[in-house]
Amino acid sequence: MESNLGKLHQLFDQNFLEYTSYVIKERAIPDINDGFKPVQRRLLQTLHNMDDGRFHKVANVVGETMKLHPHGDASIFAALVNLANKGFLIDRQGNFGNILTGDQASAARYIECRLSPLAREVLFNKDLTEYDESYDGRMMEPLTLPAKIPVLLLQGADGIAVGMATKILPHNFCELLEAQKKILRDEDFEIYPDFQQKGLVDVSQYDHGNGKIRCRARIEELNEKTIVIREIPFTTTTESLIESVERAAKAGKIKIHSIDDYTAEEVEIEIKLARGIYAKDTITALYAFTDCEVPISPNLTLIRDKTPMTASVEEVIRYNTEKLHRDLTRELEIDLNRQLEKLHARRLEQIFIEERLYKDIEEETSVKAITDRIFTSLAPFADQLIRAVSDEDVDRLLEIRIKRISRYDINRQFKEIRAIEKEIETIRRHLTDTVGFTISYIDSLLERYGKFYPRQTEIAEFTEVSARNIAVANLNVGYHRESGFLGHTIKAEDEKNDLSVPCSEYDRLLLIFSNGLYKIMPVAEKLFVGHELAWLGKVDKDLIFNMIYRDGAENLVYGKRFNMPKFILEKEYRLFDEHPRSRILLLLTGEDKFARISLMPSSRAKANAIEVTFSDYLIKGPAAKGKRVSNRVVRKVVESAGRATVAGKQNLVLPGLQAPESVPPEDNKDDDE
C-alpha cells in the first residue's frame, strides 16, 4: 500500500513539473533572444511565410498559425491584436480596437494585417535561424527569431505562469538603439519606460526594471471650474479612469458637477466642478483618489538558455547588443562566402569560354574522359581561381548551352566580376571593424525608422500626494455618553457635552478616558467605547496636552505637559497608574494655557486658590507622573483666562471635586519626572 502511494506521489510530482515547465517556457514567459512568447513567434513566422506585400485577412492568418500553435484560435487572435496595437511589427487595416478607450477589435474576418517594413528587416534571416518540428511534425518552426532590435524591452510583456509572473515595461525605440550604441562604445547609459498612452512617469524607484514606477495623467486646468485630462497613465483606459473618478465622487473624496468623455484619436475627458470647488485643489485630489495616478511594479522575468530568470534592463539590452554584434558578424561571414563562391563561378565560366576550353572536349567519347580533360585544361589557371576546382564546378560548366557561349559578352562579364570583387572588399573591410559596422547598422535603422517613434511619456519627479492630508473632512465622528457609542453615524447628545470631531476616513482618532486610559483608533462607523470618554480628537504630532489629574493612591493632585504620544493602533496605554479613585481633573490642548485650582479652606492658609501656568512645566512623556500641585485638598479645577478650543480637538474641563475625608501629610517635594 505504501509503495503504491509513493508511486502515485511520484507520478503527480513528475506530471506537475512537466506542466509547470511547459507553461513557463512555452506559453507565459518571453525569451530574451527575440523577446517573444511562442504564440507571438509562431504568428510572426506565419506572416513571414504568407508575406507577399499585401494585406491578409486576420482570420486566414489565425488559421495558418494554428498549423504551428497547438492551442485555440482565440489566443492567436488576441496575440495578433496585441502585437498590432503596439505599432512596431504588424501593419493594420480595419478596426483593431482602441488602447485609449478600451474598445475591442472587430471580428477576425473583417480586419487585415501584414508584416511591417521594420519587421521584415530586423526579424528574419533563414541562415541564422534554428528550426524544429512543429507539434504535429508537418512543418518546421523557429526556436527563436534572429531579432536585430531589443524587442523584449521595446514592446514589453505580461504573463502569469505557475509560481512566477512577468511584467516587463515597454521602452522607446530610439532610446534603446542609442543605448546599444553606447554599449558598443563602452559608455554609460540609462534607459526608462515609454508608453503609448503618454502621460507622465516618475522613474526614481525603477530599480533597473524590478522596482516601482508611478504614472500620472496629464491634466490641464482649462479654467478654475473646468479640468481636462489630455493623457492617461499606462494600464488604464478612459473608461476605467472615468469609473475611478465617479467612485471617488460618490464616496465624497472629490466633488464634481459632471464628467464627459470626448476621446477620439486623442484623449479628452472634461470634468466640471461643483460650486465652491476649484481646479487647483481638485487636480491634487484626482492624483490621490483616482486612477489619474497609478503605481506599477515591474518584474523582469524571462527565459534564457531554456531557464526562467530575473534580469535587469541593463543586462537584457547588453545581451541583445552582444547578440546583434554576433549575428551581424555571422551575416558578413556568410555573405562573404557567398560572394566568393559567386566570384569563383564567374571566373571559372570566364576562363572556360574566353580560353575556348570547351573545344578540348570535342573529341572525347566518355563522361570520365570529358571530366578529366576539363580538370587538365583548368590546371594552368588555378592561381586565378578562389579555390580548387570541384566535380560540381565541372558539372556546372558542362551545363552551359552553346547559345549562351555564342552570345557571351566579355565586357559585361568583366564589369560583373569587378562589382563582385568590390563587394568582397567592402565585406572584408567591415569584418575588420565589426563594432563600427554594428553601430552603422543601428544608425541606419534610426535614420529610417526613428522619426516614427518619438518619446511619448514625459519623465518627471512627482511630489508625494498624501491622501490623508488632502482628504475632505466629510465625516463627523460623534460620541453619545449615555449609550457609550462613538462613530460617524452617532450624533452627540447636546452642545454642552459635544465631543464630535470633523474628519476624513483616513484620519486616526485619539481617545482619552477619565481614568487615564488612552488609545488611537481608525474612524469607525459605530463602536462601543464606554461611558467615561474624556477627550476626543484627531492625531496630530504637533499637539501639546496640559493635564491636571488626581492620583487615587496618594490622594494628591498632579499637573504635567506632554506631546502627542507614539502608538500602535488600537493598543491601550495609560497616562498615570491605574486606581479606582484616579481621575483626570482638567485636560487642555495647545500652548499658553492656565488653570485655577480651588483648595479646601484653611484658617492658617494665606490663599485658598492657586493659579497654574502650564508653560512653566517641562514637556515630558505621556506616562510621566508630573509635578505635585499642592499638599492641600483640591476642591475644584477650572481653566482660567477663558475656555480654549483647538480645531478638531476638544478641551476637557471636569466639574469641581469634593474634598476627601482625610489627607495624608506630605512634604512639599517636587515629583516632576
CA gap 549, 597 in Å, rounded: 11
Of 620, 558, 611, nearest to 587 by C-alpha is 558
Q: Predicted confidence band at 13 (pLDDT cuts at 50, 70, 90)?
A: low
Same-domain pairing of 595 and 494: yes
- Would 536 be classed as within a structural domain? yes
Q: Which of 19, 22, 110, 408 is catalytic?
A: 110
CA gap 326, 36 in Å, rounded: 20
Domain boundary among 452, 483, 510: 452
CA gap 199, 217 in Å, rounded: 5
Query: Residue 503 in contact with residue 477, Cβ under 8 Å?
Result: yes
Q: Does the pLDDT of residue 673 top 50, yes or no?
A: no
Domains identified in the chain, total number: 4
CA gap 499, 493 in Å, rounded: 9
Same-domain pairing of 175 and 242: no
Same-domain pairing of 17 and 136: yes
Q: Does the pLDDT of residue 454 top 80, yes or no?
A: yes
Q: From the CB of residue 631, how many other CB atoms can be counted at a distance below 10 Å?
A: 15
Of 85, 77, 91, nearest to 42 by C-alpha is 77
- Would 195 be classed as within a structural domain? no
Same-domain pairing of 9 and 114: yes
User: Taking phi first (over 0 means left), then psi (-120 to 50 degrees means alpha), and beta for anything else, what does residue 293 get?
Assistant: beta
Same-domain pairing of 547 and 614: yes
Q: Does the pLDDT of residue 494 top 70, yes or no?
A: no
pLDDT, tens digit, 9 for 90 and up, residues 58-94: 999 999 999 999 888 999 999 999 999 999 999 999 9
pLDDT average, residue stretch 259-266: 91
The pLDDT of residue 647 is: 35
Q: From the CB of residue 581, how many other CB atoms can be counted at a distance below 10 Å?
A: 12
Q: Which domain holds residue 103?
A: 2-181
pLDDT average, residue stretch 485-506: 75
CA gap 649, 467 in Å, rounded: 21
Q: Does the pLDDT of residue 150 top 90, yes or no?
A: yes
CA gap 581, 579 in Å, rounded: 5
Same-domain pairing of 8 and 143: yes
Same-domain pairing of 104 and 155: yes
Domain boundary among 138, 159, 181: 181
245 vs 602, more confident: 245
When mean pLDDT is compared across 249-253, 326-330, 446-450, 509-513, the lowest value belongs to 249-253
Beta bridge partners of 231: 218
Q: Does the pLDDT of residue 512 top 70, yes or no?
A: yes
Same-domain pairing of 262 and 332: no
Q: Does the pLDDT of residue 364 top 70, yes or no?
A: yes
Of 657, 537, 659, 545, nearest to 602 by C-alpha is 659
pLDDT average, residue stretch 164-169: 91
Q: Predicted confidence band at 262 (pLDDT cuts at 50, 70, 90)?
A: very high
Q: Does the pLDDT of residue 496 top 80, yes or no?
A: no
User: Cell numbers 506537475 label which residue?
Assistant: 16
Q: Which residues of 82-103 are buried (b: 16+ CB within 10 A; e: fewer)?
A: bbbebbbbbebebebbbbbbee
- Would 196 be classed as within a structural domain? no
When mean pLDDT is compared across 33-42, 118-127, 588-597, the lowest value belongs to 588-597
Of 563, 575, 556, 547, nearest to 628 by C-alpha is 556
Beta bridge partners of 620: 562
Query: Residue 24 in contact with residue 303, Cβ under 8 Å?
Result: yes
Residue 341 sits in a domain whose CATH number is: 1.10.268.10
The pLDDT of residue 147 is: 95
- Would 206 be classed as within a structural domain? no
Q: Does the pLDDT of residue 667 top 60, yes or no?
A: no
The pLDDT of residue 46 is: 96
Same-domain pairing of 484 and 598: yes
Ramachandran angles phi, psi of 530, nearest 5°: 100, -175
The pLDDT of residue 631 is: 83
Tell me if residue 183 falls in helix, strand or coil: helix
Same-domain pairing of 382 and 434: yes
Q: Does the pLDDT of residue 640 top 90, yes or no?
A: no
Residue 65 sits in a domain whose CATH number is: 3.90.199.10
When mean pLDDT is compared across 488-492, 560-564, 600-604, 659-663, the lowest value belongs to 659-663
- Would 400 be classed as within a structural domain? yes
Q: Does the pLDDT of residue 135 top 60, yes or no?
A: yes
pLDDT average, residue stretch 639-655: 48
Q: From the CB of residue 609, how many other CB atoms can be counted at a distance below 10 Å?
A: 12
Residue 545 sits in a domain whose CATH number is: 2.120.10.90
Query: Residue 448 in contact with residue 478, Cβ under 8 Å?
Result: no
Query: Residue 232 in contact with residue 268, Cβ under 8 Å?
Result: no
pLDDT average, residue stretch 537-558: 89
- Would 137 be classed as within a structural domain? yes
Q: Does the pLDDT of residue 669 top 70, yes or no?
A: no
pTM of the model: 0.75
pLDDT, tens digit, 9 for 90 and up, residues 206-224: 999 999 999 999 999 988 8
15 vs 184, more confident: 184
pLDDT average, residue stretch 172-182: 96
The pLDDT of residue 503 is: 79
The pLDDT of residue 643 is: 41
In 3-state terms, the chain is what percent helix, strand and coil (to 5)?
A: 35, 25, 40
* 206 labelled catalytic: no
- Would 424 be classed as within a structural domain? yes
Q: Predicted confidence band at 609 (pLDDT cuts at 50, 70, 90)?
A: confident
Q: Which residues contact 192 (CB under 8 A, 6 or more apart)?
A: 171, 175, 201, 203, 206, 459
One DSSP character per residue, 148-178 reads SS-HHHHH-EEEE-SS-EEEE--B-HHHHHH
Same-domain pairing of 223 and 332: no
Same-domain pairing of 55 and 173: yes
Of 498, 539, 505, nearest to 523 by C-alpha is 505
Domain boundary among 157, 181, 205: 181
Of 199, 450, 435, nearest to 328 by C-alpha is 435
CA gap 517, 513 in Å, rounded: 5
- Would 193 be classed as within a structural domain? no
The pLDDT of residue 661 is: 37
Q: Predicted confidence band at 177 (pLDDT cuts at 50, 70, 90)?
A: very high
